Structure 1
């Protein structure tokens, strides 16, 4: 009888393991499919337009400074990028957090489409999954060692709004997506600060970019719709961080070392996302 019971338990355990492995694989495949959809759309939209400094001549000086630094004259205007990054991801809060070594790849098509596929390791633990937004839907799905689901957030209005902010802020990796047009407005916020308003969403997103004298970004911050707070309640709160290095790829000069997180500028700030961009390809 004991042997039979043990056999039943073993079978149930194997079925459970198989189910979680299948769930993980299916979720990764769905993220890869979303990636392919974004890439295909970029190929269809690619045109012959190139950057001309005259395009930004009517903007405030600080905004001109940004674009003239970020986009070389004659660069094809691409608004989708694939990135490879590595660095560190801190899970927890300012008082208690666990660092994970991170490598990731991402496709990004602001203002609201992206797929981020990381691998984060700490000791024997490996976290994989995806974070993404496409066609008005958003998701966050992550597993430990491909078996234990730790995050399974499907599309809700709160999650979509939060994901829209992420994509909008990460436009700093796709400078052509920030060129002035319907839904993108620039104004000066000071000698070295530019205010970018992205009004293509129901809830407009406002970003504050701090530049140095050359036009290089040094800081980016905005109000993100987030529940990353002690109350676990969705609300607008500061999100942002610092840029510590930059590099040039295919005519674009973009931040290559960033440290960003929730509650930027407050005592609760933790730069949980610390990444170095090692490759950027524009589609």
Structure 2
């Protein structure tokens, strides 16, 4: 009997050791992944975009009326034309299929350098479930890495052509949080498409990304959308499909009037619109 107990004890110790080793290995991968996101953040934030230029309405007098209306609302005269932002936000993130989504409370922070780069680091919780990780696009390469309880991998995507192309839409559409990037002097091209709508294009030819804005009579942004490369569909196949947001509120930060409450989702403007991101900004720094 004593020999059996001794053997059982050794076997139990081995099991515990294997489990502990697996957890330590998984946790190390989590910490490495988060460290990579922080490194990309630091690199984006370190590159200077300082400018002595300050906004004047004369800068946009040759643009279509709707562009002037939006930019004169979004950028106060005399505002330094800073093109990067660090954001903090809170809200809800919805995971799952249509009709079966689970709501997670969300806290996130982001560095944004439109129209080409961003890092978004988030923590989400629902009951005992804790999820953390990051999305990003850095030097044209995207990633999505999230873990449960700092160890169990949920999504681990990086370095694919599809993901890079999908991620490219994020910093372009989020240029609304750093409106100076939407000036023609910074490479944005405007075309008015209706009394209250305009297309804004960043880049040229194959790499061009166009976002569409709908604004009100005062120039406040109400909706924004783009055609994004995405596999968020029934077929789980990458294709071009509408992605966009409605704006519920705006606030002034550092001379910029930007959306402060947004609802974002796939299949924007269709019967299949599925919001998955509802957020309010809690802090903004432009630099």
TM-score range, shorter chain: over 0.9
Normalised to the residue count of structure 1, the TM-score between the two structures is 0.96
Residue number in structure 2 paired with 1:31: 37
Residue number in structure 1 paired with 2:98: 94
Residue number in structure 1 paired with 2:24: 18
Matches of 1:253 and 1:275, distance apart in 2: 17
Matches of 1:183 and 1:233, distance apart in 2: 32
Give, in angstroms, the shift of residue 182 of structure 1.
6.7
Matches of 2:286 and 2:9, distance apart in 1: 60
Aligned length: 281
Q: Contact 2:49–2:83 (CA<8 Å) still a contact in 1?
A: no
Residue number in structure 2 paired with 1:212: 216
Give, in angstroms, the shift of residue 3 of structure 1.
2.6
Q: Contact 2:49–2:84 (CA<8 Å) still a contact in 1?
A: no
Matches of 1:193 and 1:96, distance apart in 2: 34
Spell out the pairing of 1:1-283 with structure 2 (5 A cutoff): 1-41=7-47, 44-181=48-185, 183-200=187-204, 202-283=206-287
Output one character per residue of 1:7-60: Cα deviation in whole Å (capped at 9) or x when no partner: 21111100011011111111111111111111110xx23121111111100000
Matches of 1:65 and 1:94, distance apart in 2: 37
Query: In angstroms, what is the RMSD of aligned CA positions?
Result: 1.2
Q: Contact 1:34–1:115 (CA<8 Å) still a contact in 2?
A: yes
SS of residue paired to 2:32: helix
Matches of 2:93 and 2:204, distance apart in 1: 30
Normalised to the residue count of structure 2, the TM-score between the two structures is 0.95
Q: Contact 1:104–1:117 (CA<8 Å) still a contact in 2?
A: yes
Q: Structure 1, unaligned stretches of length 5 or more?
A: none
Give, in angstroms, the shift of residue 201 of structure 1.
7.1
Output one character per residue of 1:167-224: Cα deviation in whole Å (capped at 9) or x when no partner: 1000010100111147421011100101111225733211110000000000001100
Q: Structure 2, unaligned stretches of length 5 or more?
A: 1-6
Q: Which has the larger radius of gyration?
A: 2
SS of residue paired to 2:44: helix
